[in-house]
Structure 1
Amino acid sequence: MSTDTPQPQPADALDNSRHLRYWQRCLRTLLPHQYTANDSTRMMLGCFCVAAFDVLKGVIPPSDRTAFRSWVLACQHPGGGFVGGPTHAYPGSVYAGYDFGEKKVETGAPGEANIAATLFALQLLALLSTSTEQSEGEGGGKRSEDPREGAFLGVNRNATLRWLRRLQREDGSFGEYVADVPDPKAPGGRRPVVGGGADMRYCYIASMIRWMLGGGPHSDVPDIKVDALVRYMHRGQTYDGGFAESSTHESHAGYAFCAIAALEMLSRPAEGDPTSSGDDLFARGIADRPALLRWLGARTFLYRPEIEEDDDAEWQESIVTEVTPSDICSGSPLLGFNGRCNKHADSCYTWWTVASLAILERHGYGLGEEDSAWPAKRRFLLEKMQHHIGGFSKIPGGPPDIYHAYLSLAALASQGESSLKTFDPATCISQDTVQTIEAARRGLLRGLGEGGQKRRADLLELGKACWKKTAAVKA
């Protein structure tokens, strides 16, 4: 028997096995009671858990993948889109007699699919696809198409794209959901209302759903108003160069990422190089690109524990935000990020900032120089945010949580961390999953061509089965 004892890993090493154990606990056991308030966003929590497994090169057993896919499809709304969890829509029988296409109400309010849950559901279906799934055709014969084309089996593409268009307001922005409210003057006594805020998050999510499902001017479903959306985002850039939730609000790194990524997704080709489109929406969607780059660069500051970890010292942070080359080259500095002026370092802000810069860089609008400070930024995540039980925390010394743990992995992967999968910053998932989405879209669109109508009808029937009383789908 060997007497060698495992050597502790350096503080700045990414411990993949520890993180996989953390995500295994999140995925297969009850979450801490603090997540109770997140019941309506269970689709997001599930997506981050499975996406983290993917990025860490973990393996989810086929039986679990099948069960998870059934859970996701059980959350599909018959009027288009997905809900945040299986308890957030009415039973299937309630929708009998409701014509979502004509908006004729016969049974009251239809329940509410929401835009964020729809994005996470589609990503989950792609993440849960396997290389062997749907590889056999009728009679046990092999199908000729890419087996990943079955990833979106059961998704009602046309209904979801029509529903997405209803979420867009006249000013170009997108809401979170569509609800029917009483109105004596409206036909049938009710009228649809777009609910939720108007901000960059929904703009980004809408552009993602459109790209994933193959929406656009070439589609058989009416497209969203792209020009109005670009104009809306253009108005969201603030006086300091950043992007805000919407016009006149405070700039925020998360909203900057959403605007930048949305502009890429709106002109992104269906497959292949994301920069190969000839339509440069960055020129129209960003009023002042140099100011935006300066603002993103200013989000980095020299982390000083004696200030950052003192709850009463937040006001002092403004005096330590300047980083000079001598700071980076001397000693072992830690460089953190804040997403807003005069705020503490937060692990998710690392993602929002480095991903924004990565997207701009590959479109030729970056800072034009190699980020020699990345090792110091990486050490900040791994030494201060990486938790001893796995996962990453929001702030130094805090507990890990699903949101910050995944976005910290995303930040590391987007910068080429060797033990993680190649990552696509605009979609916030691995490049492998992006390719699965591209194949899944081909699978949906295959039903639109010659000889594909029956196959398309079969796919839609699979989705509808999730809402029948006799459906053998359990969440």
Structure 2
Amino acid sequence: MAELAVDKHVKYILAVEKNKDSFESVVMDHLRMNGAYWGLTALDLLGKLDSVNVDEVISWILKCQHESGGFSGNIGHDPHILYTLSAVQVLALFNKLDVLDIDKLDITGLQNEDGSFSGDMWGEVDTRFSYIAICCLSILCCLDKINVEKAVSYILSCKNLDGGFGCTPGGESHAGQIFCCVGALALTGSLHYVDKDLLGWWLCERQVKSGGLNGRPEKLPDVCYSWWVLSSLIMIDRVHWIDKEKLVKFILDCQDVENGGISDRPDDAVDVYHTYFGVAGLSLLNYPGLKAIDPAYALPVDVVNRIFFSG
């Protein structure tokens, strides 16, 4: 079995940030905040976070905060809860949460009467946003600022007969949405509402012959589901239902061992998104040399411990 090309991946992640004229950088310009989270968290898991200039990162993040309080994907773009979570997570990585004016953050105002959350002022509702709001406020120790009971009730209304969850009530079960719903329930102490055996079976059925995981039945495997599926299985204590060794091999087979980076499937083009989720998946699989990652917060365990136990 191949080994994780740590040095190559570090070099690739740093190059993505520095080369502003590359195709990948241009197409990701509007969601650079997410890219910063993916790349920096991957570096931290690889033990190489000290490769970046902390002050430059923090300065840029603060320039992305909108007057409404939320963060945008890049300077001059509109704010969205998706980017707000990435900003909070990156600040947590560097132990810089104290630079935030928590009262200014517009998260509680995005909760709707039914307990759901909108992503921004335009009102789109999605269980992704429920997870993001709960994760953000939990990291900031401010969960009491929202109606948690209603938030949980809405998430449960999105549960399907197959044990999975969709983006809204009646929406198709999808591994990404399942992570968001299970993660939100985990962070609010509400996992007892999940049928762990039924959901665990649906999730373990996502593993295909190559060892990779897909997001829905009859779809191709994708490295990113090494995170979405695996983290959910860990949170409901059913991760032993998949073949971990085959999944490790699948992720490692998706590496570009010459230039660094990880792709969705073997021999495809690499990107920072799949590089992060590949490394994060290997971390969940206890791959040697990687820092441990928390399956609910999607942050290194030592960062989560620092947030909640440093004082």
Q: Which interval holds the TM-score relative to the shorter structure?
A: over 0.9
Paired residues of 1:243 and 1:252 also in contact (CA < 8 A): yes
The yes-or-no answer on 1:387 pairing with 2:294 is no
Partners in 2 of 1:417 and 1:34 — Cα distance? Answer: 28
Find 1:291's aligned residue among 194, 198, 208: 198
8 A contact 2:19–2:25 mirrored in 1: no
- Superposed CA deviations along residues 360-410 of structure 1, whole A, max 9, x for unmatched, are 11xxxx36xx45721111111112x11222111012221111111101110
Specify which of 216, 221, 225 is matched with residue 340 of structure 1. Answer: 216
The residue type equivalent to 1:67 in the other structure is: E
Contact conserved, 1:410 with 1:429, CA < 8 A, in 2? no
The one-character-per-residue Cα deviations of 1:107-131 (angstroms, maximum 9, x if unpaired) are xxxxx421111111111112234xx
Secondary structure of the 2:249 match is: helix
The answer for the alignment partner of 1:207 in structure 2 is 134
The corresponding residue for 1:91 is: none
Cα RMSD for the two superposed structures: 2.0
SS of the equivalent of 1:424 reads: coil
Q: Which amino acid is 1:74 matched to?
A: K
Counterpart for residue 46 of structure 2: 56
- In the other structure, the counterpart of 1:433 is 303
The amino acid across from 2:185 in the alignment is L
Identity of aligned residues (%): 31
Alignment of structure 1 residues 154-173 onto 2, 5 Å: 154-160=99-105, 163-173=106-116
Name the structure 1 match of 2:65: 76
Cα offsets for 1:199-240 (capped at 9, x unmatched): 2211110111110111133xxxxx211111111111112222
User: For 2:159, which of 237, 241, 250 is the aligned residue?
Assistant: 237
- 3-state DSSP of counterpart to 1:410: helix
Q: Does 1:12 align with 2:19?
A: no
> What is the deviation of 1:197?
2.7
Distance of aligned partners of 1:113 and 1:339 in 2 relative to their CA distance in 1, 3 Å threshold: same
Q: Which whole-Å deviations, capped at 9, do the CAs of 1:3-27 have from their partners, x for residues lacking one? A: xxxxxxxx52111111111112122
State the TM-score, normalizing by the size of structure 2: 0.93
Structure 1 residues 34 and 20, CA gap change in structure 2 (3 angstroms) = closer
Q: Which structure's residues are more often helix, by fraction? A: 2
The aligned residue for residue 456 of structure 1 is: none
2:19 match: 29
Partner of 2:79: 113
Q: Structure 2: which amino acid aligns with 1:338?
A: N
> Secondary structure of the equivalent of 2:188?
helix
Gaps of 5+ in 2: none
Please identify the structure whose Cα radius of gyration is greater.
1
- Determine if contact 1:204/1:261 at 8 Å carries over to the other structure: yes
* 1:398-432 alpha-carbon deviations (Å, 9 max, x no partner): 11111111011100001211111111111112112
Give SS of 1:153's match.
helix
Aligned to 1:318: none
Give the Cα separation in 1 of the matches to 2:162 and 2:34. Answer: 32
Gaps in structure 1 of 5+ consecutive residues: 1-10, 89-111, 130-150, 179-194, 218-222, 268-280, 304-334, 443-475
Amino acid at match of 2:199: L
Displacement of 1:61 in angstroms is: 5.1
Q: TM-score, normalised by structure 1?
A: 0.62
**Aligned length in residues:** 310
Equivalent AA in structure 1 for residue 267 of structure 2: G
